[in-house]
Structure 1
Amino acid sequence: MNFDDCLKNRFSCRDFCKDFSLDNDTLTKLAKLAYLSPSASNMQEVKLCFVSNNILKTLKQELLKAFYENSKKSAFLNFYPANLAQNYKDKRFLNASKLYGLLNINKDDKNARLKQWAKNYEFFNANNAAFIYIDKDLDNGAIFDAGIFSANLINAATSLNINTCFQASVCEYNDIISNVLNINNVNFLCAIALGKATKDKINSFRSEKRAEFKIF
């Protein structure tokens, strides 16, 4: 798969095969590819861990519990500021309306929307997940490097015909992830669900991408 095809074929998988798991050799290959990413002064400050089996099962249970009980969140990154500009609000609304429209979920059906959103905390049934994190004493530059790293990990997975879903929502509960994984003094930035897509109609959804840029 060439690079163009890799970018064009990638999509956010929202329903993974429950009977598919990645082996350690494949996970190791993904990690080695992702760690070829550039970083400031080659500090390589971005950290990665893969989670599966009983630990992932426990994590899913704890995240779902926190979500349904409306527990206090402990996110390090805020992806959606309170004063979000209208043009970005419009893009979010359009994307959500198309996704829920595909699922025949009415905008006023709060229970159905809640149930669909809760699938984030089950990693959409994936049996493997990756977590991207940095040490707490690092500054914003490390976040930028983590973005590059995350993109390269996702593209590496796509090149190996592994489906992914980038997830910011699960890291709203930074403390829970830290406790379950027993990784301390770090900030979890995002998670990436990994696996094989089912043929469920939700996996036919594609977000609209616009190339908005300037050339001087």
Structure 2
Amino acid sequence: MSVRAFLPKPVPREAIAHLLEVASRAPSGTNTQPWKVYVLQGASRNKLVDKVCAAHDAGRADPALAAARKPAYDYYPTNWVSPYIDRRRENGWGLYGLLGITKGDKDKMHAQHQRNFRFFDAPVGIMVTIDKVLGRGSLVDCGMFLQNLMVAARGHGLDTCPQAAWVDYTDIVLPHVGAGDNEMLVCGLSLGYADPADKVNTFHTPREPVANFTTWLE
């Protein structure tokens, strides 16, 4: 599950390195291993949070600034259709309802969205990139790498939240982490110890039954 509230408890560097080593066993097309990882802790994490939160606030104050932002790639469709838009709405209003955020409450919506750019208070932020020369299949490879990382984290008592929200701020993120011009930001990831007392972590998204997405052929 995606955890959206973390404790300030630090995560040892050795533990993170071990998780990344486990994740690196993910399969990839012809063993290209396209992922590149940047781990942010301490001052580097906090400075990125300040930069992106400032840009997020500026975009709200001036919608033209927000509209001018170009995501690293099209994570979401340009035109939403059912059933995907229905699931998206169910997810969004389910979360907002739990948090007491009503439709039209733009202040609270903005603040909640900005929690992404604070890594939900997790002490570790991770950015994953790939080389722009690679094809779309490398995004599948990165997905398997990330899943390995997230499952391994749970095995060590840690939690995560994969975040596509960061791709809108690639112009800030990539220079901050020292990425090259040839790199494309795939996503960010929050890593740490879940806060069990925060009600946001009681939110569990529904899943379609197997019968709805599977065709059996004999």
After TM superposition, the score normalised by the length of structure 2 is 0.90
Residue of structure 1 in register with 2:198 after alignment: 200
CA displacement 1:60-100 (0-9 Å, x = unmatched)? 01110111111442322222222121211110101111111
Instruction: Tell me if the contact between 2:7 and 2:193 (Cα under 8 Å) persists in the aligned partners.
Output: yes
CA distance in structure 2 between the aligned counterparts of 1:55 and 1:133, rounded to whole angstroms: 17
Q: Pick from 26, 31, 35 the counterpart of residue 20 of structure 2.
A: 31
5 Å matches for 1:20-99?
Answer: 20-70=9-59, 71=65, 72-99=68-95
Paired amino acid for 1:175: D
CA displacement 1:36-64 (0-9 Å, x = unmatched)? 00011111121122111100101001110
Cα deviation for residue 156 of structure 1 reads: 0.9
Instruction: Tell me if the contact between 2:132 and 2:183 (Cα under 8 Å) persists in the aligned partners.
Output: yes
Paired amino acid for 2:185: F
Q: Pick from 10, 15, 23 the counterpart of residue 5 of structure 2.
A: 15
Residue of structure 2 in register with 1:7 after alignment: none
After TM superposition, the score normalised by the length of structure 1 is 0.91
Q: Mean alpha-carbon deviation: is it higher for 33-42 or for 103-112?
A: 103-112
CA distance in structure 2 between the aligned counterparts of 1:97 and 1:141, rounded to whole angstroms: 32
CA distance in structure 1 between the aligned counterparts of 2:43 and 2:169, rounded to whole angstroms: 19
Paired amino acid for 2:215: K
5 Å matches for 1:103-182?
Answer: 103-182=99-178
Paired amino acid for 1:56: R
Q: How many residues align?
A: 205
Gaps of 5+ in 1: 1-10
Residue of structure 1 in register with 2:185 after alignment: 188
For the aligned residue pairs, the C-alpha RMSD in angstroms reads 1.2
